[in-house]
């Protein structure tokens, strides 16, 4: 899998934004995931999975659902540096302008397979069908990301049916605080200086 932060770098002016610099890191032991609530021109949830030294990233307009019957659109966006996983703050005018909080984070295990044989994350990404188990503060258990047929950018985020599946619980609207700062997106008004 080609990991690149070229697009991440091209879109941002690091003299102006407090977002992390575009650095690729390798060989981390535990693989992390993060979901960032991002009030930009539209509210969305950025779902990021560590793969190949960067965070593979999808923008999920409605956020994750715990109901296996619900498929949430997840648009693939540019790779982000691993340092982005702890980023909260205000992105000034320019690309992605708006407020970001860390809605959930933790580690994940790859559970991707084909015909009962395990697939690496890189293989699963290429195939367009990734399965993983989240160990987050809010989200737990199995999820899948499945790419639309014939479309590189559009994927679906789906909760897999397990003991953490719940058709009646909506964490996006009931658990709105950052798992890092306990702030809500509306309560975040820190000013950043690099």
Closest Cα partner for 100 from 43, 171, 140? 43
- In this structure, what token pair is assigned to residue 188? 């975040």
Rounded-to-integer distance, Cα 121 and Cα 52, Å: 9
Alpha carbon separation from 125 to 18, 112, 117, 185 (Å, rounded): 30, 9, 15, 31
Three-class SS of residue 119? coil
Backbone angles phi, psi at 160, to 5 degrees: -85, 155
Shortest distance, position 100 Cβ to Mn ion, whole Å: 7
Pick the closer one to Mn ion by CB: 32 or 119. 32
Is residue 37 near Mn ion by the rule CB under 5 A? no
Identified binder of Mn ion from the candidate list 19, 37, 46, 78, rule CB under 5 A:
46
Determine if 38 is a binding residue for Mn ion (CB under 5 A): yes
Residue 88 makes contact with Mn ion by CB under 5 A? no
Min separation Cβ 187 and Mn ion, Å: 19
Choose the binding region for Mn ion from 31-39, 60-68, 118-126, 142-150 (rule: CB under 5 A): 31-39
For Mn ion, the nearest residue by Cβ is 38
Question: What minimum distance in Å lies between the beta carbon of 36 and Mn ion?
Answer: 7
Return the sign of the alpha-carbon dihedral for residues 95, 101, 103, 106: positive
When the beta carbons of 46 and 79 are compared against Mn ion, the nearer one is: 46
In the complex, the residues that contact Mn ion under the rule CB under 5 A are: 38, 46
């Amino acid at each position: 899998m080609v990991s690149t932060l070229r697009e991440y770098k091209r879109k941002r002016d690091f003299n102006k934004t407090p977002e992390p610099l575009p650095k690729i890191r390798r060989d981390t032991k535990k693989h992390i995931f993060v979901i960032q609530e991002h009030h930009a021109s539209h509210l969305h949830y950025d779902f990021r999975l560590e793969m190949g030294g960067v965070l593979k990233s999808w923008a999920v307009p409605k956020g994750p659902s715990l109901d296996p019957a619900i498929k949430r659109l997840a648009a693939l966006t540019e790779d982000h540096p691993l340092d982005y996983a702890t980023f909260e703050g205000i992105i000034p005018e320019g690309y992605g302008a708006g407020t970001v909080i860390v809605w959930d984070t933790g580690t994940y295990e790859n559970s991707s397979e084909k015909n009962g044989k395990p697939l690496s994350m890189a293989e699963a990404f290429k195939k367009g069908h990734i399965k993983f188990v989240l160990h987050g503060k809010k989200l737990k258990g199995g999820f899948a990301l499945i790419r639309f047929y014939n479309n590189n950018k559009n994927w679906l985020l789906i909760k897999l049916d397990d003991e953490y599946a719940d058709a009646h619980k909506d964490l996006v609207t009931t658990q709105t605080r950052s798992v890092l700062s306990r702030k809500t997106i509306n309560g975040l008004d820190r000013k950043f200086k690099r």
